[in-house]
Amino acid sequence: MILHISGRSISRGKGSGPLLVSPVPISFLSGVDPETGVIVEKGHPLKGVSMAGKVMAFPYGKGSTVGSYVLYALSRNGHAPAAIINTEAEAIIATGAIIGKIPMIDRISVPLLQLKDAVLVSVDGDDGSMEYNGELSGS
């Protein structure tokens, strides 16, 4: 089943891949290795998992503005997420997505935590939508 989910466009472009859903915010400064895309934040539920090539879904970013440059570095070295979905975009992640040319949307029409890991999705940052190829959690 393919679901068409609406949201708000933050960073233009299109990206597809398996979902990686975080129930908690992510800090890109010191929370993600800029050389590998692996989440290294102590205590984070996804610690040790790579976001490279995945569609990263998380509530919002946290931490220093340098996190924007970490997203840019991930993009430059080929280890960035294929796209980003946030519950609510904030300036650090939005800026990083824009300068790193990573498609990004927020305010999607379903609760973020109903999205399931590993489901294939396509994010369209141009019109703020996504296609979700699977069942939602709790549906």
- By annotation, the residues acting in catalysis are 64
CA 31 vs CA 11, 13, 40, 68, 138: distances in Å: 22, 25, 5, 12, 30
